Amino acid sequence: MQGLVVCLALSVQVLVAEAAGLRRGPPAMYVLGDSILDVGNNNYLPGADVFRANRPYYGIDFPGRIPTGRFSNGFNTADYIAKSMGLVRSPPPYLSLAPNNLSLVLAALTTGVSYASAGAGILDSTNSGKCIPLSRQLEYFNATRAKMLAAAGSPAVTALLSKSIFLVTFGSNDLFVFAAAEQASNRSEAEQQSDAATLFADLFSKYSAAITELYAMGARKFAIINLGVLGCVPAVRVLDAAESCSAGLNQLAAGFDDALRSLLAGLAPRLPGMVYSLADSFGLTQDTFADPEASGYTDIAGACCGSGRLLAEADCMPNSTLCAADRDQHVFWDRYHPSQRASLLTAQAFYDGPPKYTEPINFMQLAQST
Ligand SMILES: *[C@@H]1O[C@H](CO)[C@@H](O)[C@H](O)[C@H]1NC(C)=O
Ligand SMILES: *[C@@H]1O[C@H](CO)[C@@H](O)[C@H](O)[C@H]1NC(C)=O
Ligand SMILES: *[C@@H]1O[C@H](CO)[C@@H](O)[C@H](O)[C@H]1NC(C)=O
Ligand SMILES: *[C@@H]1O[C@H](CO)[C@@H](O)[C@H](O)[C@H]1NC(C)=O
């Protein structure tokens, strides 16, 4: 027992030394966000209403065909971004590590940790009780950091965090919930405009505070993904008789993305040493929809696992129908989430793809910046 404790203490010290600067290799990644990035945190949350991808056919194309909590048929966007940066896959979910301080500290000092949670929003009220909202993801990172500091000391942790990538995306769920509530309460066009302005003020004050808090805790390199073409996810299309996209929801997402661009451009000069890459999921998806064949897609509208029209009238379940076509030919896997192939192409575009999909630099330049 004594020997084991000493040995563990030594291995922590080796990691500490590596973290202090001897470490050559990929940056660690700390991931905060929603279901696009979740790699299993929600599997550890109690409650029947929690959004979980812990059943077939999730993971059907994952090694071993296992459902891991990823909302994908295989790997997700966090995995492919991590792979681009030299990690094996996304760092592990915080809630899988948290019961054991040593596991948590080891992961935090090497690969990083993922706090992402399906359903999460910028607002605590978004899908409350069914996910880990942004505010709690920040608390979990803070708790992780406290344990890193206790194990490795401030200079090493400061150096590690400043070189690491903070991959962040939030906002989709806030807008889905908002749009559904507006619809349910039959708000007029003018009322919706004014409600959206109020919502955005709230969202951006909290998003800005969150980035500033991460910075205060030592984050310097931010890889931030904007909102995609939310009005075109199968779950939204299927609400329309003609299966068209919701122009209203797309407009909201585009408005959010404009405000996010301004937020970051305004924030960076006030936070010395902050570097960021803002990835344009919206623009990439629009371009993909305009020429699906160029990316090998034959279906950009429907899900690949679900039921009913567009396989989008119900969630992906063990009794769902699977799409007839090759899953790689679908942009969407379930009624809200991209397929493994779409996740791969997204990560490639953001890492070192056409310059129009990232600003002011791409994820590769972010990782390599000093
Ligand atoms: C984990 O660390 C916290 C302090 O960071 C401590 O209070 C707790 O007792 C530790 N748990 C174990 C199992 O060592
Ligand atoms: C982080 O945790 C410490 C206590 O451990 C607390 O004083 C501080 O306010 C927390 N910071 C954030 C940003 O949550
Ligand atoms: C919605 O509002 C419009 C006018 O504001 C009204 O004509 C319509 O009946 C309302 N619909 C529902 C379902 O309440
Ligand atoms: C699948 O099973 C669920 C219950 O688990 C049921 O509510 C649903 O109607 C079934 N769907 C289909 C397409 O059979």
What is the overall mean pLDDT for the chain?
94
Q: Where are the domains of the chain?
A: 2-16+29-86+122-368
**Two structure tokens written together for 12:** 């922590």
CB 154 within 8 A of CB 146: no
Q: What is the mean pLDDT of residues 44-73?
A: 97
pLDDT above 50 (res 4): no
Question: How deeply is 25 buried, as exposed, middle or buried, from its count of CB atoms within 10 A (0-12, 13-18, 19+)?
Answer: exposed
pTM for the model stands at: 0.93
What is the arithmetic mean of pLDDT over 36-56?
97
Tell me which residue has its CA closest to atom 10 in ligand 2.
142
pLDDT at 325: 80
- So what's the pLDDT on residue 24? 57
User: What is the CATH number assigned to the segment(s) 2-16+29-86+122-368?
Assistant: 3.40.50
* Ligand 2 shell residues, CB under 6 Å: 138-139, 142, 146, 213
Mean pLDDT of 246-266: 98
- What is the pairing mode between strands 358-359 and 275-279? antiparallel
pLDDT at residue 92, as a whole number: 98
The per-residue pLDDT for range 308-332, each reduced to its tens digit, is 999 999 999 999 999 988 999 999 9
Quick check: CB of 188 below 6 Å from ligand 3?
yes
Beta-carbon contacts of residue 312 (< 8 Å; ≥ 6 apart): 234, 235, 237, 238, 302, 303, 306, 335
What pLDDT shows up at residue 110?
Answer: 96
Q: What pLDDT is attached to residue 8? A: 52
Please choose from 32, 142, 213, 217 the residue to mutate so as to test ligand 2's pocket, defined by most ligand atoms within 8 A of CB: 142
**Residues for the chain: how many in total?**
370
d(CA 311, CA 307): 4
What's the rounded Cα separation, in Å, for the pair 166 and 114? 10
280-293 pLDDT, tens per residue?
999 999 999 999 99
Helix (H) or strand (E) holding 345: helix 340-352
Q: Is the pLDDT score of 25 beyond 90?
A: no
**Which ligand gives the minimal distance to the CA of 145?**
2
pLDDT at position 1: 40
Distance CA(306)–CA(116), nearest Å, equals: 24
Among 24-38, 248-262, 323-337, 356-370, name the one with the lowest average pLDDT.
24-38
